Structure 1
Amino acid sequence: MGKTIFLNQENLPSIAGQVSCPSYDRSDIKTGIVHVGVGGFHRAHQAFYTDELLEKGKSNDWGICGVALLPFDDKIYQVLKKQDGLYTLIIKELDGSLSIRVIGSLVEYHFAPENPKAVIEKMANHETKIISLTITEGGYNYDEATGEFIFDNPNIQHDLKNPNFPSTIFGYLAQAFKLRKERGTQGCTIQSCDNIQGNGHITEKMVLSYIGKAEPGLVEWVRNKVSFPNSMVDRITPVTVQKDIELLLRETGIKDEWPVVCEPFRQWVIEDDFCSGRPAWEKMGAQFVDDVAPYERMKLSLLNAGHSILGILGALVGYSTIDEVVNDQEIASFLATFMDKEATPSLGTLEGINLKEYKISLIERFGNQNIKDQVSRICSESSAKIPKFLLPTVKYQIANDENFSHSAFVIAAWAIYSLGKDENESQLEIMDVMETLLYKKAKEAQENPIVFLGIEAVFGNLRDSKNFVSTYLKAYKTIKEKGIKKAIADFKY
């Protein structure tokens, strides 16, 4: 390795000698997209597709203005500001090789807590045609049990009382829509890129719920002028670690303070409902369809649920990365049977999809030893993930009087995981907005395991199913008596 090259716009000519770089003039790109939540996934997915499109010279109207919404997003904001919005995407191929590219589609960036007015103005600007979101499953602020907007969230209460200084996406959108209406600006598309079934429908319902209280006069304008397409997104993108930064520096000489690592696979299925135009992402492999639902169900029930299953079981055994977990043959067999016997029957007919091949590819992707996706990341915010990824399968199986033993086993394992220690008594890193309540109920569940199923915000009325409760109790007892490793090994469908 020769001289270290710091990643920024000025150094791009030098960097281009080492790796693939944008050849388009970034200063000539208009920001037609405002994206909220510029984390690893957005940078490996939507920003990547958009960069490819800009590289092909298809349009200069679809650059991205990133918005760091929350106070703890300051670090990524500072890094991207220092690097002129540039970052390196490191694709770790299954054969161990690397495909490295500098991504240039993020051409503007704002830190919302520092200047909320600038963010509102950007969202309200006539050039902004799409406001896209990766705000995590929990960011949509709805009660799993009722499906309704949670108005007593302190941040929502703050936004209602301080409309010009919002802290949530709902507060920002309300003020941006208000300006667009006042100025006679056309509407825009709100595009969720989060792992929620019917993410466009959920976004629309939550936005209208908030606006109905915050700015009632805007409700009809939003109904008539704003579209909320559903989408399904897929690309495994682990958290960037120091080793990734060092790898990039060692291999290329590029100093990037926050590169993104991902797998080669990518998929994006989008409902074609954009009220103010959109990029031609289909030219880069995205699929526009009339109905995203079947693809969503497939991905959420197989990939996302599979990830959660590997994470929870693997964490209890003591594994650190997902590839370690799936290369445990007993856990891999447990997952494969879950996918075949419980998840697949709930999916119905999927036009153009070979489910057998898809499931085989998932095991290969999970087992990519170059990705090193952290078990703790996969388990994070399980209280928001389990209801969306696993419970739809459970509900289908209950309604059809079918077997749900794997799902019940995983939920029992999650109750034990929520105590905060693996079976070796090592401390688990639990990151969940409901961590305190989960721990409390998990402690109580040691005496009465049904208590854990009583968390209505997660499980709804699941404990009303006698058959499920019975199966769950049996699994809980087995795990406690045998330990997770032996319980999995002895598990019978």
Structure 2
Amino acid sequence: MAKLTRSTHPAPVFPEKILQFGTGVLLRGLPDYLVQKANSEGRFEGSIVVVKSTDSQTNEFSEQDNLYTVAVRGLQQGKEVSENTIVSAISRVLAAQTQWNDVLVLARNPKLQIIISNTTEIGLNYVEESIFQHPPQSFPAKLTAFLYERFRSVGGSKAKGLVVIPTELVTDNGLKLRDAVEKLAQFNELGKLFTKWLKFHVRFCNSLVDRIVTRPTESAQQLVQQETGYQDDLLTFTEPYHLWAIEGDDRVRQTLSFAGPLTPQIIIDEDINFYKERKLRVLNGTHTLTMPLGYLLGLETVADEMLHPAMSRFIESLMLKEIVPTVPDYGIPGMDKAAVEQFANDVLDRFRNPHLDHLLLNISLQQTTKMQARNVATLQRYYEQFNTVPNLMALGFAAYLLFMKAVREEKGQFFGEIALPSGGKLNYPIRDDKAGYFYGDWKTVKERTPATVQAFVKSVLSDTKLWQDDLTALPGFSEAVAQHLNSLLTLGIVKTLEGAVE
């Protein structure tokens, strides 16, 4: 089977308008995909130069003339979606380790307008280093070196400023990156004129990306190749839903001409907190409150949860009845209760997607920190609105406590245990910084002794270091969690769940 190349699939070449730090699937499946859509509709007509920092190998791109396919698979408003799009928006992929001079030359390109990044979550951290290395080590230092070269080549021109959009999953990612660049400019003594140009003519935008993008399984890759008739080693698999919210003003809107009325998936607004809050509470919060129960049932993926009758009812009721009502309503179209409800229904479609293997065990990483960040405010808001116990949240919290019960420790790693439906037991890793804390506290719980369960739950919920508040102050919540946990321990997972969603 022939490989995907420009000789087999000719594509137009556009001026290089975007510099992108990162070659990962998220960038390929969201920003690059959206630029491709705009190019094909004549709304942007620009290409992307990609910088790869992890190693100097770019053969996988060059062998395919920088083409790749985005395979969209899943459900949208209950209907099956299947679409293959060849993305030709990338013009070059440069290895930072061996082609740093070529990256700096790009800084002099007058048509360049935008910089996008997706490194790691710690990739935006400030590291004190010289930007004159070839290349600098950290991403903020690479970006500072690039911007300084841009400043020198354009003489501080206002017209040659840039819009920088980090997509790392970090709160206020644009502000954090700007802060690191400003500190590097000061450390490297780049001068007041550069600092002024940076402040007034380089716009750093906070942004939020929301799309599950993966590499395909071997069987999925074979199926797509049979459909397309070519081999694609860069095949990118993704769900239909996608959103890119960018904090920006009119200048940002004008520069990002690939956004607009024809791409409602790209939102440019001076305040994107509504979209961040909606995703955090409805999507991420539901994951965190439901994962432990699903995994303790012996399920492996989110799609498995949605195929389980009782578990799917639990997820839908928890999300729609207890979480959605607590999300702040801005009272304007697109940022109101109807928008939250629509998003929730979209999320349920995403959870049902049979084409994505979203492993529950992966969701469990640092579960305690996620529970605090995603669900404590939701819980408190529920009490403010309804002044009663959110019963399904209480069950989700109880299941989380049971998931955190380690049965053994090996070299600092803690392991829990579940009974498999087929018989036997399975050990699972508890990848949580608080695993040792719970390992000690669970030893105070005596089997079939409700008083010890109640004392354990009260101790955990009152720990303000964990939750940044005392959750026992919420009337009836501690008692409800203890009752559910006692039921999970005595009646089992299935009966407890079925009793809660009758």
State the TM bucket, normalised to the shorter chain. 0.7 to 0.9
Distance in 1, matches of 2:277 and 2:201, equals 28
Q: Shift in Å at residue 436 of structure 1?
A: 7.3
Pick closer, same or farther for the CA change 1:178–1:414 going to 2, 3 Å.
Answer: farther
* Secondary structure, counterpart of 2:326 in structure 1: helix
Distance in 2, matches of 1:85 and 1:208, equals 33
Pick closer, same or farther for the CA change 1:227–1:394 going to 2, 3 Å.
Answer: farther
* Secondary structure, counterpart of 1:5 in structure 2: coil
Map of 1:426 onto structure 2: 426
1:336-375 paired onto structure 2 within 5 Å: 336-339=316-319, 340-353=321-334, 354=338, 355-375=340-360
1:6 is matched by which residue type in structure 2? Answer: K
2:9 is matched by which residue type in structure 1? Answer: L
CA shift digits 1:133-160 (9 cap, x unpaired): 233545444xxxxxxxxx6xxxx36x46
Q: Shift in Å at residue 162 of structure 1?
A: 8.2
Percent identity for Structure 1 against Structure 2: 18
Q: Shift in Å at residue 204 of structure 1?
A: 3.5
User: Larger deviation: 330-339 or 480-489?
Assistant: 480-489
1:88 is matched by which residue type in structure 2? Answer: T
Higher strand proportion (structure 1 or 2): 2
* Secondary structure, counterpart of 1:333 in structure 2: helix
* Secondary structure, counterpart of 1:246 in structure 2: helix
Given that 2:289 and 2:397 are in contact with CA atoms closer than 8 Å, whether structure 1 keeps it comes out as: no
CA shift digits 1:229-285 (9 cap, x unpaired): 233433332442222211112323221113111222233333333568223321333
Distance in 2, matches of 1:216 and 1:454, equals 50
Map of 2:91 onto structure 1: 107
The answer to which structure, 1 or 2, has the higher relative contact order (CA under 8 A, 6+ apart) is 1
Given that 2:461 and 2:472 are in contact with CA atoms closer than 8 Å, whether structure 1 keeps it comes out as: no
Distance in 2, matches of 1:483 and 1:209, equals 55
CA shift digits 1:442-487 (9 cap, x unpaired): 544534779989999xx76526554479479736666566665555
User: Larger deviation: 440-449 or 359-368?
Assistant: 440-449
Q: Does 1:81 align with 2:70?
A: no
Distance in 2, matches of 1:199 and 1:88, equals 28
Give 1:415's match in structure 2, choosing from 381, 404, 424.
404
1:415 is matched by which residue type in structure 2? Answer: M
Structure 2: gaps of 5 or more residues: 407-412, 420-424, 445-455
Q: Does 1:291 align with 2:271?
A: yes
Pick closer, same or farther for the CA change 1:379–1:82 going to 2, 3 Å.
Answer: farther
Map of 2:257 onto structure 1: 279
Structure 1: gaps of 5 or more residues: 14-23, 142-150
Distance in 2, matches of 1:414 and 1:350, equals 39
Pick closer, same or farther for the CA change 1:5–1:58 going to 2, 3 Å.
Answer: same
* Secondary structure, counterpart of 1:135 in structure 2: coil
Map of 2:7 onto structure 1: 10
1:245 is matched by which residue type in structure 2? Answer: Q
Given that 1:87 and 1:258 are in contact with CA atoms closer than 8 Å, whether structure 2 keeps it comes out as: yes
Pick closer, same or farther for the CA change 1:333–1:351 going to 2, 3 Å.
Answer: farther
Distance in 2, matches of 1:395 and 1:304, equals 17
Distance in 1, matches of 2:384 and 2:182, equals 32
User: Larger deviation: 240-249 or 408-417?
Assistant: 408-417
Given that 1:310 and 1:322 are in contact with CA atoms closer than 8 Å, whether structure 2 keeps it comes out as: no
Q: CA RMSD in A?
A: 4.0
* Secondary structure, counterpart of 1:171 in structure 2: helix
Map of 1:229 onto structure 2: 205
1:426 is matched by which residue type in structure 2? Answer: L
1:79-478 paired onto structure 2 within 5 Å: 79-94=60-75, 95-96=79-80, 98-119=82-103, 121-122=105-106, 125-141=109-125, 156=127, 159=129, 164-183=134-153, 184=155, 186-208=160-182, 213=187, 217=191, 219-273=195-249, 274=251, 277-282=255-260, 283-285=262-264, 286-339=266-319, 340-353=321-334, 354=338, 355-379=340-364, 389-394=374-379, 396=381, 403=389, 405-406=393-394, 408-409=397-398, 411-412=400-401, 415-416=404-405, 419-421=414-416, 423-424=418-419, 425-428=425-428, 435=431, 437-447=433-443, 462=468, 464-467=470-473, 470=478, 474=482
Given that 1:5 and 1:255 are in contact with CA atoms closer than 8 Å, whether structure 2 keeps it comes out as: yes
Q: Shift in Å at residue 302 of structure 1?
A: 1.0
Pick closer, same or farther for the CA change 1:180–1:25 going to 2, 3 Å.
Answer: same
Distance in 1, matches of 2:171 and 2:388, equals 22
Map of 2:49 onto structure 1: 65
TM-score (norm 2): 0.75
Pick closer, same or farther for the CA change 1:322–1:171 going to 2, 3 Å.
Answer: same
Q: Shift in Å at residue 428 of structure 1?
A: 4.2
* Secondary structure, counterpart of 1:182 in structure 2: helix
1:446 is matched by which residue type in structure 2? Answer: W
Map of 1:19 onto structure 2: none
* Secondary structure, counterpart of 2:315 in structure 1: helix
Distance in 1, matches of 2:273 and 2:341, equals 19
Q: Shift in Å at residue 191 of structure 1?
A: 0.8
Which structure is larger by alpha-carbon Rg, 1 or 2?
2
Distance in 2, matches of 1:336 and 1:313, equals 14
Map of 1:144 onto structure 2: none
